Amino acid sequence: MLEPAAFPEFFREVTGREPFPWQVRLAEQLCTGNPPALVDVPTGLGKTSVIIAWAFALAAELEGRAERRLPLRLVYVVDRRVIVDSTYELARRLVERLDPAAPAGPVAARVAAALQGLAGADARPLEAVRMRGGVTWDARWLDRPHQPAVVVSTVDQFGSRLLFRGYGVTPSMAPINAALCGLDAWVVVDEAHIAEPLAETLDRVRRLQRAAAEASLPHLKLTLMSATARTALAGGLRLTATLETETAAGSAAAEVARRRLSVPKPARLESVDVRGKGIERYRNLGAQLAERLASLSKLPGRYAVLCNTVQAARSAFEHLEKHRPGTNWLLTGRVREFEREQLVPDVLSRFGSGTPAPADALNLVATQTVEVGADLDFDAIVTECAPLASLIQRFGRVRRMGEPHAATSAVIYCPQTHDDDPVYGPATRSTRDLLEQVSPGENVDFSYRGVLQLRQAAPPGVEIEPPFIPVLLGAHVERWAQTSPLPAVDQPVAPFLHGFQRGGAPQVYIAWRAFPQGLEPGEWAGWLDLAPLSDWETVAVPLAEARAFLAGKPSESIDADIESAAEQAGSEPQANGQVARAVIYAGPDEPPAPLKYPEEIQPNATIVVDSLEGGHDRWGWNGRRNDSAAPRPVPDVADLAPSRRRRSLRLAPSIALSHATDPEAEARILDAWARLDPEDLDSTVPAICEAFASLVPEPLADLYRDAAEGIRNKSWEAFLPARDPETGQWRVAEADKPVVRLVEHANVATSADRSDDDALSTSLSASEPVPLIDHCTRVGGLARDFAERLGLAPDLVRAVELAGRFHDIGKAEPRFQAALYDGDALAALAGTPRAKSGRDPRDPVARNAHRLAGLPQGFRHEAVSARLVRALAQARPDLFDGVDLDLVHHLVVAHHGRGRPLLPPIDDANAPPTSLEIEGAALTVPGERYQVDWEHPARFEQLNQRYGWWGLALLETIVRLADMKDSELAARGAEARPGEVPPRSASPLPAGAPHA
């Protein structure tokens, strides 16, 4: 059995370093199954290593075969986007170290074996998940409910999912998200003082869960990481690291801690004046900060300008670049994932902890996004004045590894922007007063001991006034649990995540796509269908700023790079005949709506903008429209988005041109494109791909080369678009040539990332027809296996097994069977009942079969399944002995995320009876005209009271993930065996991941 004494060796194996004493104490505490309520650790001592301690403790419990008390999922929540990314990379690196084929060492091998014993023989021991916003980034971010996983998220993404209203999550997938976030999860809130509303809401969730059985699973557990948490949770079990506790042992780790906590960090408090009005003041302030840094960075070293707003940061960066180009980097949270994955490793390779000292002065300009947890190390900084906690965090990035330097940092106070600070309020001014009081006319000491003195002397006003936090009640969750249909009047979740005073500024998500010049937004639908929109190509932008950009007007809103920051907007921008070419994107099943007026954009909308409009560069969002005379397009990166699907590529000149940097590339790209022959794709497509590859940078060039080779060796396939039946013209074309879609062959289901919203589509997806009873039997077996691995009570294991066994028997409905037989009712009558047709749902034959079979729009086979289950319970009551029949009924009704509490109504006047022989019983149920079971809302309410809101959602999740897993395997032509499900494909780790 793994003992806590083995943790130091495990830590050394996966990190290459000795653990600090607090990390050892945390692992020992977690091995008791009871995480601390509060962790207070100084910056620089590896707070994110809680991930490593949790993985070890969970494995120790599992190897010991004791009753599991530690949650299966660790959810690390931090209100900074860049920190989400860096923490995720740490989790990914731990996943790599636990690879059963090449573990980092003998203890790591035991940890991996224990975790994999729970996850399944063909699963990864540990998964790493990053929650992100925009469009649905992965409908199924865990493919089994018993998978040990580290989930890293912002406040908004985790909190909204927990409360059944996930941003970017379809209503049908909301229960799965809520269940996986709300139960069997240890939630660690980093820097909880900037996320107190979420912390209070999480505490209320725990209290509500204790009032219900919650399916015999561990409730949500909560730990706050902060030195200044005001929540009542601070009264629980605490784990604290101090200079004394971390240096007492005299070990190598103790010496490292002593050096890091003792290094001096002097800073001068200075005042500057800026001119201008409105947003111009912040840009002028940025320029002054840059000038101050230039005077500071005379010696070689790593320096930073840290700003309170994106506008000041962009201005400071451009000022520095003007005078010393090539030695400056800009890092904010407003950047697409494509650029971020290139930028962050580049920044970490120069400014990361432990990197070699530079021979010259290097400068990083950043916003608050680096305050929390960022593994950066500066020799000195120039920072805007901010509340005390923010300054402490910023100076936590100074001399992080304990290396002294001659430069002195500066804290800049600007009366014109800080006296009435729109970002932090009066806390900025109060902090300035504190610094003057503590060190009048002298340098302020931000070392470990200096910070302790500042905190002791600090009056209450140096921190942001806490927002009013509404109390989460059961009545709120009861309403949110109704996900299908949604309540006509719904309670927003934002106040429970950010409070009322500082409610999050509304945001939208912007993506850029390349289109042929002259193609109107109303004609973009076919182009967008070629590559599903992904969050990887979007950037989150404040609503007011997005509206100003789209209207072609300068933005007057001040953008604090914090998800919970309130929006400071000027007057609403009015378009003046210069509205950007853009569409509002509502998902793949809805036609994109051409943008007419920026005012019509609503919060959390996704906007697709023509790449020629500009607005984003290699450093991120800049909010500037391109000069139409010489536009610099934003690269269209849809084909480069990482996915578990097979790789694909849209071959079109406009896409290549959006990446090309050579001004002469356009003529050569169009010349190559002119050689496309739709009648001879096998020979002309590879040549065009190779020509494009020579004119664009990596990584797109590499994808072009792979596609060219793939077409030649038949590992890729080329697809032409459809023609218009009236005109005969290609529906998606450029320069009189059809846009060709190139797809890599792979033995991976194209439905793997799809949700189960569309019951008919999931019934079609399979490599060959699937018999109904076979599918149901396998799903029942998987559901039972999932439930047993989770440790559910025997009656609940039996309930989910029965729901899985009978979830799809409603597909025996005669018209549904006809649809699965390509619309041939006679063939359906003569054949074996099917669960899946064996056709791709995009196949026109499959879609036409629905019409030929006479199925009404909105028909749900789940309703028929539930009626058959009731009939079976009457015919074979022994099958349901000791089982909650109402629960089985609901799990069958809700296995596609509908029926919470009602299935959609239809008018099906000709609904036929359905007959089926199953479990030795001959069943027949009559057709229902309206498909609505008016008894189900009461049943749904009773089940929520019996099992809890999150508990019932979890039971649904077990059945639904089992169904999705078997459907995925059917599409692959494989067969599921309980505990032995194919692993998700791995993607390569990016370089430069930060250490713990």
Q: Which helix (H) or strand (E) holds 250?
A: none
- Percentage above 90 pLDDT, the chain: 66
pLDDT in tens, 714-740: 999 999 998 888 888 999 999 999 999
Instruction: Let me know: does 379 contact 399? Beta carbons within 8 Å.
Output: yes
The stretches of 791-824 forming alpha helices (DSSP H) are: 794-806, 814-820
Residue 749 pLDDT exceeds 50: no
pLDDT in tens, 698-719: 999 999 999 999 999 999 999 9
Model confidence at 993, pLDDT cuts 50, 70, 90, reads very low
What is the spatial distance between Cα 484 and Cα 897, in angstroms, rounded to a whole number? 7
Question: Taking the domains of the chain in order of start, what are their residue ranges?
Answer: 4-257, 263-462, 502-552+566-628, 647-745, 759-972
Instruction: Let me know: does 794 contact 950? Beta carbons within 8 Å.
Output: no
Higher local confidence (pLDDT), 422 or 560: 422
Model confidence at 977, pLDDT cuts 50, 70, 90, reads very low
Cβ neighbours of residue 244 under 8 Å, at least 6 residues apart? none
Beta strands in 887-992 (DSSP E): 914-918, 921-925
Residue type, 222: L
- By C-alpha distance, which of 562, 604, 368, 572 is closest to 467? 562
pLDDT in tens, 775-794: 999 999 999 999 999 999 99
pLDDT in tens, 287-320: 999 999 998 888 899 999 999 999 999 999 999 9
Higher local confidence (pLDDT), 790 or 237: 790
Q: For 98-110, what is the mean pLDDT?
A: 93
Burial label, 821 (beta-carbon count in 10 A; 0-12, 13-18, 19+): buried
The stretches of 562-617 forming alpha helices (DSSP H) are: none
Lowest pLDDT segment from 375-389, 624-638, 661-675, 962-976: 962-976
pTM of the full structure:
0.83
pLDDT in tens, 242-265: 888 888 877 888 889 999 999 999
Mean per-residue pLDDT of the chain:
88
Q: How far apart are the first and last CA of the chain?
A: 26
Model confidence at 631, pLDDT cuts 50, 70, 90, reads confident
CB crowding 539-553: b at 16 or more within 10 Å, else e: bbbbbbbbbbbbbbb
Residues in the chain: 996
Q: For 46-59, what is the mean pLDDT?
A: 95
Residue 560 pLDDT exceeds 90: no
Residue 403 pLDDT exceeds 80: yes
Is 4-257's fold the same as 263-462's? yes
pLDDT in tens, 939-950: 999 999 999 999
Lowest pLDDT segment from 132-141, 813-822, 890-899: 132-141
Residue with tokens 């709506």: 593
Report which listed range, 188-202, 596-610, 889-903, is most confident. Answer: 889-903
Model confidence at 473, pLDDT cuts 50, 70, 90, reads very high
Instruction: Let me know: does 357 contact 402? Beta carbons within 8 Å.
Output: no
Q: What is the 3-state secondary structure (H, E, C) of 767-789?
A: CCCEEHHHHHHHHHHHHHHHHHH
What is the spatial distance between Cα 380 and Cα 76, in angstroms, rounded to a whole number? 29
- Residue 984: per-residue pLDDT: 30
For residue 369, what are its two tokens? 């996004």
Written as one string, the DSSP assignment of 818-878 is: HHHTTT-HHHHHHS--EEE-SS-TTSHHHHHHHHHHTPPTT--HHHHHHHHHHHHHHH-GG
- Domain 4-257 class in CATH: alpha beta
- Residue 750: per-residue pLDDT: 39
Fold of the domain built from segment(s) 263-462: Rossmann fold (3.40.50)
- Residue 986: per-residue pLDDT: 27
Residue type, 420: D
Instruction: Let me know: does 806 contact 868? Beta carbons within 8 Å.
Output: yes
Q: For 968-982, what is the mean pLDDT?
A: 53
pLDDT in tens, 379-391: 999 999 999 989 9
Residue 504 pLDDT exceeds 70: no
Q: For 152-175, what is the mean pLDDT?
A: 92
**What letter would DSSP give residue 234?**
G
Residue type, 879: L
